[in-house]
């Protein structure tokens, strides 16, 4: 081997040693943060593989809060390469006297039980039923969400969790139908057995709620969206209809009390006016004339006079 190759080989070896040391120190710090999170936020249960959390100091000691896939991290830390990363941290914690916090964190985590999988997490599903029922009552006019509906809900992943965006329609569909509604049956049985009055009340309330119309047949919802779109066109688009790919931040789009969300207004308007020979628009026009919906009529008349926005020129 020539001198240059030997020199390069030496640098490569030192780099690998330095990188391994750096990763071990990072894992040592993250174990302490992870153990604190499990103790304070997860009721002493290890997170599921898909669980996330907002943690401070994760990337480096002075880092702010960052969203971390804690379940995925713990899985990789304890299992990949036959748990090599965990073994290195355990050995270093036993060898070094200044890593008492890491030793305590590892000892604590060894006593923690695994969290049930979401499909068999009866306690978690019971809590979500109560949160879901409250959301339906307060924000959905007592109607069950459509399969594609989402909502910002607090405490969904665990009791002390902050607000998170939840696919409530998909969750309710899975909860009530998959495996012949096995998850719902387990929650019903647990509520009856454990005298969970709030969960029983939530289930009874949800059983009385009607399904929300599909967006393609939701005449009342489409009427509201026509008024919102007309206002947006007048105030934000210089009176011109949106292009097919245009988007906008609009409040009240999914339901009257919905927060601002990003809407593909151009795509919606295209579907509303052209699909099935404009059947959705015809239903809204007929409903507005029949129910004397002056605001909807004005919005439709205004939109009918608006020119199409020019297509954007493609840059070379």
Per-residue pLDDT tens digits of the chain, which is 316 residues long: 454 454 455 555 566 666 667 787 888 889 999 999 999 888 888 888 878 888 888 887 777 888 888 889 999 998 888 888 889 888 888 877 667 888 898 999 999 888 765 555 788 899 999 999 999 999 888 889 888 788 889 988 877 778 888 889 999 999 999 888 889 999 999 888 877 899 999 999 999 998 876 655 678 889 999 999 999 999 999 899 999 899 999 998 887 777 888 999 999 999 999 988 888 899 899 888 888 888 999 989 989 998 888 776 555 5
What pTM value is reported for the model? 0.45
Consecutive H or E run containing 185: helix 182-193
In Å, the largest CA–CA distance within the chain is 92
Per the CB < 8 A criterion, the answer to whether 157 and 45 are in contact is no
Quote the pLDDT of residue 215.
56
Quote the pLDDT of residue 244.
87
Residue 146 burial (C-beta neighbours within 10 Å; 0-12, 13-18, 19+): buried
The string of DSSP codes covering 214-279 is PTTT-HHHHHHHHHHHHHHHHHHSTT-BPPTT--EEESSSSSTTPPPEEE-HHHHHHHHHHGGGTH
Quote the pLDDT of residue 151.
87
The string of DSSP codes covering 49-84 is TT--EEEETSSSTT--EEEE-HHHHHHHHHHGGGTH
Quote the pLDDT of residue 137.
92
């Amino acid at each position: 081997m020539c001198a240059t190759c030997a020199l390069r080989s030496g640098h490569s070896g030192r780099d690998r040693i330095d990188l391994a040391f750096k990763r071990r120190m990072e894992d040592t710090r993250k174990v302490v943060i992870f153990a604190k999170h499990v103790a304070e936020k997860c009721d002493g249960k290890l997170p599921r593989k898909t669980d996330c959390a907002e943690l401070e100091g994760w990337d480096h000691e002075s880092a702010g809060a960052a969203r971390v896939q804690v379940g995925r991290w713990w899985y990789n830390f304890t299992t990949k390469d036959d748990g090599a990363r965990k073994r290195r941290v355990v050995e270093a914690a036993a060898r070094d006297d200044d890593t008492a916090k890491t030793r305590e964190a590892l000892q604590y985590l060894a006593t923690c039980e695994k969290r049930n999988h979401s499909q068999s997490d009866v306690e978690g599903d019971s809590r979500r039923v109560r949160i879901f029922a409250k959301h339906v009552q307060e924000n959905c006019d007592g109607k069950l969400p459509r399969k594609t509906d989402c909502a910002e809900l607090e405490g969904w992943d665990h009791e002390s969790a902050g607000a998170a965006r939840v696919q409530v329609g998909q969750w309710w569909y899975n909860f009530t139908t998959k495996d012949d509604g096995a998850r719902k049956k387990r929650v019903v049985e647990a509520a009856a057995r454990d005298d969970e009055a709030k969960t029983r009340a939530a289930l009874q309330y949800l059983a009385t709620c009607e399904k929300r119309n599909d967006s393609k047949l939701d005449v009342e919802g489409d009427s509201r969206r026509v008024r919102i779109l007309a206002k947006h066109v007048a105030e934000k688009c210089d009176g011109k209809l949106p292009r097919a790919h245009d988007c906008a931040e609009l409040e009240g789009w999914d339901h009257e009390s919905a927060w601002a969300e990003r809407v593909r207004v151009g795509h919606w308007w295209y579907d509303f006016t052209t699909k099935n020979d404009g059947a959705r628009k015809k239903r809204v026009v007929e409903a507005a004339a029949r129910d004397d919906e002056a605001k909807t009529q004005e919005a439709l008349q205004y939109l009918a006079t608006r020119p199409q926005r020019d297509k954007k020129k493609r840059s070379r």
